[in-house]
Amino acid sequence: MKGKGNDGTGNNESRDLWRTEQKLWEKLNKQYGFKFDCCANKINTKCNDYSNNFEEINLIDLVDKVCWMNPPFSNAYRMFAHYSQVVQKGICIFRCDNMETKVWQEIILKHCNWVFIPKGRVSYTPFDINIRGGMTRFPSALIGFNVEPPEDIEGTCLSINKIDLRNYNTDK
């Protein structure tokens, strides 16, 4: 059965360019001073420097830049895979209702330092003013890569200890 407003996987391409709510963004930007928006266009970017084709960005382009990424859900796996290879410091926001998925298990949890779950639901703003935005039906998480967890946001932080991360194989 398909979910309401999506293709059954939760990945609705019409929502790929939605912007993170401004209030949350301002708190995060005050702490981190983001310099690059990884998955954005001229209309929905949160930074002066951005990429609408993130897979063409390389490590050299991002040296000394704290990056922000609100990935398009329809391409989240590819975006997180590239992000984990080229970004030295940054924060992403992503849905955390399906942490058993490949993107969480194979990429996010293996490369991030922490996962922060804000109290309450995060709102998003559509890039098209004719489309209604608002609260999501799923919880969101902030995901940190080589930066400290948020200081001025209410929620719960889960630290990821790289030493204890193992590939558990239940087939043995």
Residue 107 confidence (pLDDT): 95
Residue 19 confidence (pLDDT): 72
Residue 2 confidence (pLDDT): 39
Residue 21 confidence (pLDDT): 83
Q: What is the CATH number of domain 16-164?
A: 3.40.50
Tell me the whole-structure pTM to 2 decimals: 0.82
Helix, strand, coil fractions of the chain, as percent rounded to 5: 30, 20, 50
Per-domain residue ranges for the chain?
16-164
Residue 142 confidence (pLDDT): 97
Quick: pLDDT tens for 36-53.
999 998 888 899 999 999
Instruction: Spell 38-65 as b/e; 16+ CB within 10 A means b.
Output: bbbeeebbbbeebbeebeebeeeebeeb
Residue 54 confidence (pLDDT): 93
Residue 5 confidence (pLDDT): 43
State the residue for tokens 């948020």. Answer: 150
Residue 138 confidence (pLDDT): 78
Q: Give the residues of the chain that fall short of pLDDT 50.
A: 1-8, 165, 172
